[in-house]
Amino acid sequence: MTSPRTRLRMVGRLRGQGIRDETVLAVMGELPRHIFVDEALASRAYEDMSLPLGFGQTISSPHTVARMTELARNGRALTKVLEIGTGCGYQTAVLARIARQVYSMERIAALIRKARKHLRDAGIANVHLRHGDGHVGMPEVAPFDAIVMTAAATSVPKALAGQLDRGGRMILPMASGNAQYLYVIERTDNGLVERRMDPVVFVPLLPGVG
Ligand code: SAH
């Protein structure tokens, strides 16, 4: 249930769902996702579903993680990436296998502790976790090649957009009426360009620390 073969089946499904970035597919084919979910759920880790994470939060499905990473990478080599909403740390780990350094913020302290353990168990060391409100980002580390937000905002957080490097992209779910969509925000020479992508379901981005 948690074997390399199960993981390869997951990658086959991701291909069928339209994921085309071979770098992302290779990373997800190697990274043990079951390390990041509670033991009772380990046998479901490779199914295409979101899973409960505790504290009313959810772990994104493999397809959502693959899609956001593909959009963030956009075929580029990534140096510095910021993630908002560490959760269990799986998306963090996928980014860490692709980017040189990953910075990730989470508002729930207990989840930071959980993610730190998962990342250690997966042998990942190029991640810097911070307990704090992701709305403010990490201005002292900026600019970032990519910012990946895994909780739904109602508008683009201004401070974060300001921390994108030129040519950098922010991938975030945003509520639009009753629905949520993934958005790509790109910093171009002419300012920020916003594009609406796939419909998605995420927990809300909340203010402050929990
Ligand atoms: N990528 C994670 C997603 C977890 S759900 C995973 O797959 O496990 C979204 C996460 O965003 C939750 O852990 C929630 O606590 C966190 N979050 C919500 N608002 C936040 C904020 N303002 N700053 C930092 N993290 C936030």
pLDDT in tens, 48-68: 999 999 999 999 999 999 999
Tokens read off for 178: 């009753």
- Mean pLDDT confidence for 156-184: 96
Angle at 196 between CA 193 and CA 198, to 5 degrees: 145
In the predicted structure, residue 180 carries a pLDDT above the cut 90: yes
Marked catalytic residue, from 60, 61, 104, 176:
60
Total residues belonging to the chain: 210
Would residue 85 count as lying in a domain? yes
Q: State the sign of the Cα–Cα–Cα–Cα dihedral 36, 42, 48, 54.
A: negative
Q: What does the block give as tokens for 187?
A: 């910093």
> How confident is the model at residue 176, as a pLDDT?
84
Span 67-96, pLDDT tens digits: 999 999 999 999 999 999 999 999 999 999
Whether 28 is in a domain gets the answer no
What is the biggest distance separating any 2 CA atoms in the chain, rounded to whole angstroms?
49
Residue 1 has pLDDT above 80, yes or no: no
Nearest to 23 by CA among 33, 11, 36: 11
Residue with CA at minimum distance from ligand 1 atom 18: 205
pLDDT band at 112 (very low <50, low <70, confident <90, very high): very high
Pull the structure tokens for residue 52.
């409960």
Q: Give the span between the Cα atoms of 79 and 86, in whole angstroms.
A: 19
- What's the rounded Cα separation, in Å, for the pair 167 and 120? 32
Checking if the pLDDT of 101 tops 90, the result is: yes
| Residue-wise pLDDT tens digits, 126-151 | 999 999 999 999 999 999 999 999 99
State phi, psi for 65 to the nearest 5 degrees.
-60, -45
User: Could you tell me the distance, in angstroms and rounded to a whole number, from the CA of residue 203 to the centre of ligand 1?
Assistant: 8
pTM of this prediction?
0.97
Mean pLDDT for 98-103 is 98
Average pLDDT over residues 156-178: 96
Q: Give residues (CB < 6 A) around ligand 1.
A: 53, 57-60, 84-85, 87-88, 90-91, 105-108, 111, 133-135, 150-151, 203, 205-206
Atom of ligand 1 nearest to the CA of 60: 7
In angstroms, the CA 59 to CA 79 distance is 25
Atom of ligand 1 nearest to the CA of 50: 7
Task: Please indicate, yes or no, if residue 186 is contained in any of the structural domains.
Answer: yes
The mean pLDDT of the chain is: 96
* Whether the Cβ atoms of residue 98 and residue 145 lie closer than 8 Å to each other: no
Q: Is the pLDDT of residue 5 over 80?
A: yes
Q: Residue 41 domain-assigned?
A: no
- For 174-183, what is the mean pLDDT? 93
45 located within any domain: no
Per-residue b or e along 78-107, where b marks 16 or more CB atoms closer than 10 Å to that residue's CB: bebbbbbbbbbbbbbbbbbbbbebbbbbbb
On the question of pLDDT at 125 being above 80, the answer is yes
Ligand 1 centroid – CA 127 distance (Å):
16
Residue tagged 């580390």 (tokens)? 141
In a domain, 4, yes or no: no
Q: Is residue 35 part of a domain?
A: no
AA identity, residue 210 = G
pLDDT of amino acid 177: 85
- 189, two tokens: 């020479």
Catalytic: 176?
Answer: no
Q: Whose CA is nearest to atom 4 of ligand 1?
A: 87
Domains identified in the chain, total number: 1
CA of 190 to the centre of ligand 1 (A): 31
Of 36, 48, 57, 112, best ligand 1 pocket probe by most atoms within 8 Å of the beta carbon: 57
Share of residues in the chain with pLDDT > 90 (%): 96
**Which amino acid is it at 139?**
P
Report how far ligand 1's centroid is from the alpha carbon of 189 (Å).
31
Q: What pLDDT shows up at residue 169?
A: 98
* Structural domain containing residue 153: 62-199
What's the CA gap between 88 and 66, in Å, rounded? 16
Q: Does residue 49 lie within any of the structural domains?
A: no
Whether pLDDT at 35 is above 80: yes
CATH of the domain at 126: 3.40.50.150
Residue 107 backbone class (left: φ over 0; alpha: ψ -120 to 50; beta: rest): alpha
Residue to substitute in 28, 49, 53 for testing ligand 1 pocket (most ligand atoms within 8 angstroms of CB): 53
